[in-house]
Structure 1
């Protein structure tokens, strides 16, 4: 009852704030939409479609058999967990969460394994770190690479911690000892493919429809978070030291705007190293918006959101500490890179955009001329087409 009243009161306050500041609300929603269209939609759609096709053709089970020793040894997870990990690290939060939820619905992982896998696969989009942050926000592609390395290393450190407390399943794999792994994988693919039964065209259509529907929901979460962050700023700006509110609020709610807030953060003692550490911490946290997206993805399963939040907090601490500790060694290595390489990368990624520093993070999206990931969808589409062809070739048809 109390929670319902609280939610109702918050909703009324948000409506009142939008009525009082319609222009601010509109600009914030437009910024959230711009981020979603330029970064999230082209970055996520190919991977969501690909996962659905891989699931339809039974390859998840085949990969699970082949990768079982590696996943068990490193993360105490079944082999099927490799695919959500790969999708989360290559595409972003939503792809990892959706793939994890799909495995849990099919009972391919236990609840505790699902909780660990959800945390491990909940990662920022690498193209966002390398392209948008490195070349767009910071105008130094090598710093985007540094931040990406820190986020990945801190994720592995976090995975090490949580895997130490993970459950071990009994090993009853006598069949593996008598039959080759490839034969077992082929049998698993055939069984799963026959159980699904959809044609390639039907599976592709369902995959595209599923991906677009999920991305529309993601866009709604992002726009809502951007509006809340903008409207709530006047309430806390006077309660915190200079510049902290402009960083803390967007970082707490939405990682894309929060990352830019950390990039332009200015204040006493705020060096490039501190700014990079703040960006890494924001990306590791991912924002309440991305956490709610994961919560929506796991709806209908017995997976819970609160364990993910605790793991993301641990990931945030690891990212900030590692960034400060490794700043000087990594910068020494980066200086050895050919200057022509970084200059050419920056010129390619900027695509002729003239940049001027906005006064705050909320003006960043439109003033910056946000670098778009859409040009890279051509490459993703080509890779996807190759994967489609490979699926048709290697997918066993079974006995008719």
Structure 2
């Protein structure tokens, strides 16, 4: 009852704030809509559609079989979890959460494994980090690689550490007595490909139509969350803005509510007495946190399962802290190596006075069209992934014929 009353009061306050600040609410919703259309929609749609297709045609089962040894030994997760990690790391949030929830609904992972998999697969879109943040925000393409490395390495470190501390044992498949020698890894992957295809049974046209329809519906939901979070961030500025600006942390409001807008705010943050290193570290932390919008998207994805949002929320906060630390640790050795390999000025450099390079924007005021779109990059990457999937299928074809003849 108390929770319901509190939510009702917050809803009334939000409506009152929108009425009192209609222009700010409109501009912030426009920003959220533009980020969704230019970055999230093209960054996620191909991967969501591709995930449905490779699941329907058995490639998901084959990839899970191929990566099963690594997933078992490193993360104490079944081989099917590998596709969730691949999809989440390539597609961005919440595609990894969607895949993890799907595995949990089919009882392919336990609840504890599902929670770990959910935290590992919930990653920012690599195109956003490499193209938008690196080339667009920081005006140095290599900066995106450095930020992505901090986010990814910290996630791997945390997942391995939690798996080592976990007392759960992963059941290993053992061959039946008198069943003869166990088939090789490629032969088992080919058999998994055949079984996965037979279990689905839909034609290509039916599968493609279902995949596009479901993916667009999910993206509409994601857009709603993003616009809602952008409006909340803007309307909260009168309350928390003076306090955060006084402490020199004006970017925190945007970063708390929406990860993409928060990354931009952190990129243009004029860190007092610090340098570019702190901007990079804060961007990595913001992307690892994913914002309230990303958390709510994952919460929607896991609805209908027994996976909990509170442990996931704690995992996001811990990942953000580790991403910050990893960036600080990686900065000196990586930038020194880059300065030796790249032309002068191509590698990010530490500025003791806290100033930015001349090309960097130094104001929080930005227009809706300032962000670069991911449409051309997304289509090219999706084509490359589709060709890679086709290559895997062709590679497994001889082994599939062998298993069929036995």
Within 5 Å, which residues of 2 pair with 1:181-220? Answer: 181-220=185-224
Question: 2:277 matched to which residue of 1?
Answer: 273
Match of 1:348 in 2: none
Tell me, in whole angstroms, the C-alpha distance in 1 between the residues paired with 2:189 and 2:65: 5
Indicate the residue corresponding to 1:114 in structure 2: 114
Partner of 2:175: 174
- CA offsets 1:140-191 (integer angstroms, 9 cap, x no match): 2222221111111111121122112232123342259533333333333323
Q: 2:368 aligns with which of 366, 369, 373?
A: 366
**Whole-Å Cα distance in 1 between the matches of residues 299 and 156 of structure 2?**
22
- With over 3 angstroms needed to count, the CA separation of the structure-2 counterparts of 1:223 and 1:180, relative to structure 1, is same
TM-score computed with the length of structure 2 as normaliser: 0.88
C-alpha spacing 1:128/1:301, structure 2 compared with 1 (3 Å): same
Conserved 8 A contact 1:41-1:215: yes
The equivalent of 2:313 in structure 1 is 309
Shift of 1:299: 1.1
Give the 5 Å matches for 1:135-150.
135-150=135-150
Unaligned stretches of 5+ residues in structure 1: 344-354
Counterpart of 2:29?
29
Q: CA deviation at 1:104?
A: 1.3
Shift of 1:126: 1.0
Q: Which residue of 1 aligns with 2:231?
A: 227
RMSD of aligned alpha carbons: 2.5
Structure 2: tracts of 5 or more residues without a match: 348-358
Query: Paired residues, what number?
Result: 386
Q: Give the drift of 1:26.
A: 0.4
Distance 1:242 1:315 in 2: 27
Q: How does 1:47-196 map to 2 (within 5 A)?
A: 47-166=47-166, 167-175=168-176, 178-196=182-200
Q: Of 252, 257, 263, which aligns to 2:261?
A: 257
**1-side partners of 2:110 and 2:6: how far apart?**
34
Stretch deviating more after TM superposition (22-31 or 301-310): 301-310
* Counterpart in the other structure of 2:288: 284
Per-residue CA shift, 1:88-130, capped at 9, x if unaligned? 1112011111111111112211111111111001111111111
Match in the other structure for 1:375: 376
> What is the correspondence of 1:382-397 to structure 2 with a 5 Å cutoff?
382-383=383-384, 386=387
| 2:242 match: secondary structure | coil
Q: 1:241 to 1:226 in 2, by over 3 A?
A: closer
TM-score if structure 1 supplies the norm length? 0.90
Query: Following the alignment from structure 2 to structure 1, what is the Cα–Cα distance between the partners of residues 13 and 68?
Result: 50
The change in CA–CA distance for 1:218 and 1:130 in structure 2 (over 3 A counts) is same
Q: How many angstroms does 1:358 deviate by?
A: 6.0
Which region of structure 1 is more displaced relative to structure 2, 327-336 or 213-222?
Answer: 327-336
Stretch moving more, 239-248 or 384-393: 384-393
Please state how far the C-alpha of 1:225 moved relative to its aligned partner: 0.1
Q: Spell out, residue by residue over 1:65-99, the C-alpha distance to the aligned partner (whole angstroms, 9 max, x if none).
A: 22211110111111111111011111201111111
